[in-house]
């Protein structure tokens, strides 16, 4: 069984903002565009962006200074990183492991492949 699900738009936008924070487009304690500005940038209904902002606020990634706007929270990088790690391990790893079991791939095989991958990427980094 396979299905491709398109996440709710507000979550897609939240992801996009997180990406931008991680890339440094919006530094910590820096201001992010207003709801309307962002809605214009991504060409989406403003209420959807409100939902995204609310979601990010809940996660502690951004906060609202009344009358001034939204800002990236201190430590947001850490929060995003942790959230993504958790999501990856819970959701995507679960599916990946299922496939490995189905295809009879042993844990050692996986560990070996992962180690090789790490070594390879370290090599490319230094080059």
Partner 1 sequence: MLEIKNLSFNYGRRKKEVLSHFSLSLRQGGIYGLLGKNGTGKSTLLALISGLLTPCQGEIIYKGKDVRRRLPDTLCDLFLVPEEFELPSLTLARYIKLNSCFYPRFSTEDMRRYLDLFELDADLNLGTLSMGQKKKVFMSFALAANTSLLLMDEPTNGLDIPGKSQFRKLIASGMSDEKCVVISTHQVRDIDRMLDHVVIIDGSRVLLDQSVADICRTLVFRESSSRELVGQALYALPSVEGNSLILPNAGGEETEINLELLFGAVLAEPDKIAAMFHA
**Shortest Å distance, C-beta 15 to partner 1:** 13
The DSSP symbol for 38 reads H
By beta-carbon proximity to partner 1, the closer residue of 55 and 77 is 55
**Shortest Å distance, C-beta 6 to partner 1:** 4
By beta-carbon proximity to partner 1, the closer residue of 46 and 100 is 46
In sign, the C-alpha dihedral spanning 28, 33, 39, 45 is positive
By beta-carbon proximity to partner 1, the closer residue of 6 and 121 is 6
d(CA 22, CA 96): 25
Contacting residues toward partner 1, per CB under 8 A: 1-9, 12, 36, 39-41, 43-48
Per DSSP, helices labelled H in 25-106 are 35-42, 46-58, 76-87, 93-102
Backbone angles phi, psi at 74, to 5 degrees: -65, 135
**Rounded to an integer, what is the distance from CA 100 to the centroid of its chain?**
25
**Shortest Å distance, C-beta 14 to partner 1:** 13
CA-based diameter of the chain, in Å? 58
By beta-carbon proximity to partner 1, the closer residue of 22 and 44 is 44
**Shortest Å distance, C-beta 109 to partner 1:** 30
């Amino acid at each position: 069984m396979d299905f491709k699900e398109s996440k709710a738009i507000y979550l897609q936008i939240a992801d996009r903002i997180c990406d931008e924070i991680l890339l440094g487009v919006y530094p910590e304690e820096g201001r992010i565009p207003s709801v309307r500005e962002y809605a214009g940038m991504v060409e989406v209904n403003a209420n959807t962006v409100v939902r995204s902002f609310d979601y990010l606020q809940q996660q502690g990634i951004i906060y609202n200074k009344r009358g001034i706007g939204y800002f990236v929270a201190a430590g947001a990088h850490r929060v995003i990183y942790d959230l993504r790690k958790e999501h990856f391990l819970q959701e995507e790893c679960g599916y990946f492991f299922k496939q490995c079991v189905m295809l009879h791939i042993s844990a050692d095989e996986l560990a070996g492949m992962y180690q090789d991958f790490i070594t390879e990427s370290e090599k490319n980094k230094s080059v």
